[in-house]
Amino acid sequence: MAKQQADNITMASGGTYSLATRGAKDVIDRATPRVLKAIEGLGIPADRARFTMADMGCADGGTSLEMVSAVIEAVQRAAPGVQSTVVYADQPHNDFNALVQIAHGLGPFESWSRRFDNAWPLVSGSSFYLQAVPDTSLDFAFSATAMHWLSEKPCEIESHVHMVGASAEEHAVFSARAEADWLTILQHRLRELKPGGRAVFVNFCRDAAGHYLGNTGGVNMFDTLRDIWHEFVADGVINSEELARMTLPQYYRTVEEFAQPFDAGLLPGMRLESIETAQVVCPYAAQFQADADLETFASGLIGTIRSWNQSVFLGALDGSRSLDERHAIIEDYYEAYRVRVLDDPTGHGMDYVHAYMTVVKDS
Give the residues lining the site for a copy of itself (CB under 8 A): 1, 3, 49-50, 83-85, 87, 92-97, 99-101, 103-104, 106, 113-114, 116-126, 131-135
Q: How far is the CB of 185 from a copy of itself (least distance, A)?
A: 17
DSSP letters, 147-163, are: TTB-SS--S--TT-SSG
Q: Which is nearer to a copy of itself, 62 or 121 (CB)?
A: 121
Q: How far is the CB of 149 from a copy of itself (least distance, A)?
A: 18
Q: Which is nearer to a copy of itself, 1 or 168 (CB)?
A: 1
44: alpha, beta or left? (left if phi > 0; alpha if psi -120 to 50): beta
Q: Which is nearer to a copy of itself, 104 or 271 (CB)?
A: 104
Q: How far is the CB of 214 from a copy of itself (least distance, A)?
A: 30
8 Å CB contact between 359 and 188: no
Q: Which is nearer to a copy of itself, 107 or 214 (CB)?
A: 107
Q: Which is nearer to a copy of itself, 83 or 274 (CB)?
A: 83
Q: Identify the burial level of 263 via C-beta atoms within 10 angstroms of its C-beta, where 0-12 means exposed, 13-18 middle and 19 or more buried.
A: exposed
Q: Which is nearer to a copy of itself, 62 or 345 (CB)?
A: 62
Tally of CB atoms within 10 A around 321 = 14
List CB contacts of 3: < 8 A, sequence separation 6 or more: none
DSSP letters, 286-352, are: HHHHHH--HHHHHHHHHHHHHHHHHHHHHHHS-TTS-HHHHHHHHHHHHHHHHHHHHH--TT----E
Tally of CB atoms within 10 A around 222 = 20
8 Å CB contact between 360 and 271: yes
Q: How far is the CB of 330 from a copy of itself (least distance, A)?
A: 22
Helices and strands (H, E) in the chain, number of each type: 12, 7
Q: Which is nearer to a copy of itself, 128 or 204 (CB)?
A: 128
Q: Which is nearer to a copy of itself, 126 or 307 (CB)?
A: 126
φ/ψ (deg, to 5) at 347: 80, -5
Q: Which is nearer to a copy of itself, 123 or 314 (CB)?
A: 123
Q: Which is nearer to a copy of itself, 63 or 113 (CB)?
A: 113
DSSP helix/strand/coil, 235 = coil
Q: How far is the CB of 106 from a copy of itself (least distance, A)?
A: 6
Spatial separation of the C-alpha atoms in residues 360 and 363, rounded to whole Å: 9
Q: How far is the CB of 120 from a copy of itself (least distance, A)?
A: 6
Q: How far is the CB of 271 from a copy of itself (least distance, A)?
A: 25
Spatial separation of the C-alpha atoms in residues 232 and 168, rounded to whole Å: 25
Spatial separation of the C-alpha atoms in residues 201 and 216, rounded to whole Å: 22
Q: How far is the CB of 134 from a copy of itself (least distance, A)?
A: 4
8 Å CB contact between 181 and 129: yes
Q: How far is the CB of 1 from a copy of itself (least distance, A)?
A: 6
Tally of CB atoms within 10 A around 322 = 9
Q: How far is the CB of 307 from a copy of itself (least distance, A)?
A: 18
> Considering only CA atoms, which of 231, 201, 235 is closest in space to residue 357?
201
